[in-house]
Every structure is written in structure tokens, then in C-alpha cells.
Amino acid sequence: MGSDMQASIQEGRPQGGPGNKGRRRLARASALALFATLAGYLPLPLLAAGPAPAGEAVLLVVGDSISAEYGLKRGTGWVALLEARLAKESMPVKVVNASISGETTAGGRSRLPALLAAHKPSHVVIELGGNDALRGLPLEMTEAHLTAMVEAARGSGARVLLAGIQVPPNYGRAYTERFAGLFEKVARAQKVAVLPFILAGVADGPQAVRLMQADRIHPNEEAQPRLLDNMWPSLKKLLAKP
């Protein structure tokens, strides 16, 4: 996060000696970049944002920090690795990563209509919900937002995959179990594909200390191939459908 912040500030530095007005404008821009970075809401630049060739599938990923390469070098997250695997498998799929660190289901729901209109995806991955739990938001609210997102994506003609997350047991047994089942509940009701836990074998396995970042919330670079392996069977099946 620190390197991104420095890069944002340095990129805005003029080469010559600015006047007072220029310095004030630069200070405001730098302050905004700093605030966005510290808040964790600086979005990952959209991958493959140009128009897709006719007949090519478009996969839109709407997620949070798990999919937005939080704390990772650009191009090392599971979504970037997915692009490489699709190319290796000779599957012509354009990937658009619209994930934002810190995103909630409410935020994803509000952004989705514009994303659907702009990119016209044939497939949508929704990887949201973890930040709802971190904020202690009502499960009914999370369920409603996920349901609305699935309905909007399906209404646009896209096939949908829900990528779920789980919370540690210190949230209480009742909340933990209800939250864990939330994604499958929505998927069953909406008849869409679901992966119950994207961090399976990473956050809950014997190598969790080695595969997670120091915050114990975000997977590190070494864990990203495992995340893709978790996602791949469901994604490949989804993309194979006409």
C-alpha cells in the first residue's frame, strides 16, 4: 500500500518549478490520493477494458480486496493468473476486473448496473461479502444485496458464479454458520453456480500462517495460484456452457 501511495504522489509531480497555484493543485491531488489509498478504496485499474471481439466471452469480476490484489504486486493476483490460464487453455475470454479493496455488497450492488452496461459481460463472478461481516452488517442485508446483484446480472443475460467467504469462529457460532451458508442459500434460490469458500485450503489449512499476509485477512502472493485452483473448476464449467 505504501509503494502505491508514493507512486501516485510522484506521478503527479511537475518537472519544472510550479507557482503557488500549481503547488496548491498538486497538494490537493496528493492529499486525495493519500486518503483514497489509506481508506483502502483505491480501485484496481480495470483489466482488458477495451471492447471484446465479436463472439468473445466477457467475464466480469466484481469483488473486494481478495480479487483486487490488495498488498500484492500488480499482475500476481488470482484474476491475473486466470487470464494466463485461459490463454493456455485456448479459451477466448476477455476478463474485466472491477474489484475494489474495501468493497461491500451494497457498494457492488450500486456499481453493477453501470458495469453491466459498459462491458456487456457474458459471465459475472461476484466475490463480495467479507467486508459486510467485518462491519457486522445484518446478514439479511448482505443476502438482499447479493440477490439483487445476481438478478441484475442474470437479467442482462450473463451467467453468474458466487464466490463465498467465511469468517473466523470468534464472530460467534450462530453468526459464523449462518454467514457460511449465505452464499449457497442465495445460489440455490437464484439457480446459479457457487463456490462456498474461495480461501479454502489457504485461510483454514495448516499453512495459513505462510499463505496469509501479516494482517491474517488477505492471502499473499504465494496463495494466489491456490485461489485460482479453487475457482477454476466452477469457472471452467460455467464458461463451457453455451
Q: What is d(CA 203, CA 217) in angstroms, rounded to the nearest whole number?
A: 8
Asked if 56 and 121 count as a contact pair (C-beta separation under 8 A), the reply is no
Q: What is d(CA 150, CA 125) in angstroms, rounded to the nearest whole number?
A: 9
**Who contacts 1 (Cβ-Cβ below 8 Å, separation ≥6)?**
37, 38, 40, 70, 71
Q: Among this protein's residues, is 218 annotated catalytic?
A: yes
* Residue from 3, 4, 65, 234 carrying the catalytic annotation: 65
Grid cell 454467514 — which residue?
179
58 has which bridge partners? 94
* Residue from 119, 123, 145, 218 carrying the catalytic annotation: 218
Cα–Cα distances in angstroms (integers) from residue 7 to residues 56, 96, 213, in the given order:
35, 24, 22
93 has which bridge partners? 57
Q: What is d(CA 187, CA 185) in angstroms, rounded to the nearest whole number?
A: 5
Q: Among this protein's residues, is 65 annotated catalytic?
A: yes
* Residue from 64, 90, 215, 234 carrying the catalytic annotation: 215
Q: In terms of C-beta distances under 8 Å and separation of at least 24 residues, what long-range contacts does 174-179 make, across chains too? A: 175/139, 178/139, 179/129, 179/133, 179/139, 179/142
Query: Of 142, 155, 231, which is closest to residue 193 (Cα–Cα)?
Result: 231
Residues annotated as catalytic are 65, 215, 218
